[in-house]
Amino acid sequence: MEDKLIIKGIEFRSRLWIGTGKYKDFEETARVIEASGADVVTVAVRRVNITDRKSENLLDYIDPKKYKILPNTAGCYTVEDALRYSRLARESGVSDMIKLEVIGDEKTLFPDVIGLLKATEILAKEGFIVFPYTNDDPVMAKRLEDAGAAAVMPLGAPIGSGLGIRNPYNIKIILEAAKVPVIVDAGVGTASDAAVAMELGCDAVLMNTAVAAAKDPIAMANAMRHAVIAGRLAYKAGRMPKKLYATASSPIEGML
């Protein structure tokens, strides 16, 4: 049976979304993406270095015809900045999608949800497909959905922390109430974390550091690909109920 992720009419080949930061070079980035099987790759918007320009461009390695480029507003701490980066990103001509971040605190990189909500509302009205990075807060997830978010992206743990899904129960509550897809963004540290997110019923997982900071990023990308598929399959299969005591799985009948 087909189990495709479709958001705002866009069909996604994979439920693993990959960030392109922190890799050794563009070649490694490209190999990681290939190994991960992802079709969504996030990128950041930054100034071109006009005095010392390198001829190489990330998009020489990640073909926008083959992958869905998801620009982010990483590094933005105000609504104004987030809007500015979003509009520039769209004008770059690869996508109307934006991974919206309005960061509220340097140390934790937790989102400023008040700013996030405002920016989501404005950008959704401007026709953006908005993917807001938010807390694992079910009430805020609902508010973002009402403001026009195409999906909500609650964190599993702080960005780059690798602490895993710290509050699976909140993610579950978000999932229960959400009418839009739920994509865990940030916090995944290893394959089991990605599987946990998918087993909870999340529609996709976005990660960067878990792969980039692994000893062998390409092998980890491959592991993540399998973890996301396994987690999704397990979710669809429906896990057995947990029980406190043992139940033998071999028959008593016929014993000597």
Point out the residues that are catalytic.
Answer: 99
Distance CA 121, CA 88 (A): 18
Q: How far is the CB of 215 from another protein (least distance, A)?
A: 18
CB closer to another protein, 20 vs 222: 20
* Residues 62/33, Cβ–Cβ less than 8 Å: yes
For residue 168, CA distances in Å to 40, 138, 213 come to 24, 12, 24
Cβ neighbours around 80 below 10 Å, total:
12
CB closer to another protein, 150 vs 186: 186
Cβ neighbours around 153 below 10 Å, total:
27
Beta strands in 106-191 (DSSP E): 129-134, 153-154, 183-185
Q: How far is the CB of 189 from another protein (least distance, A)?
A: 14
CB closer to another protein, 138 vs 156: 156
Positions in the binding site for another protein (CB under 8 A): 19-23, 26, 29, 42-51, 53, 57-59, 69, 71-72, 74-75, 84, 87-89, 91-94, 99, 101, 103, 109, 133, 159-160, 185-186, 206-209, 212
Q: How far is the CB of 49 from another protein (least distance, A)?
A: 8
CB closer to another protein, 6 vs 213: 213
Distance CA 141, CA 15 (A): 20
Q: How far is the CB of 236 from another protein (least distance, A)?
A: 28
Q: At CA 138, angle to CA 134 and CA 140, rounded to 5? A: 50
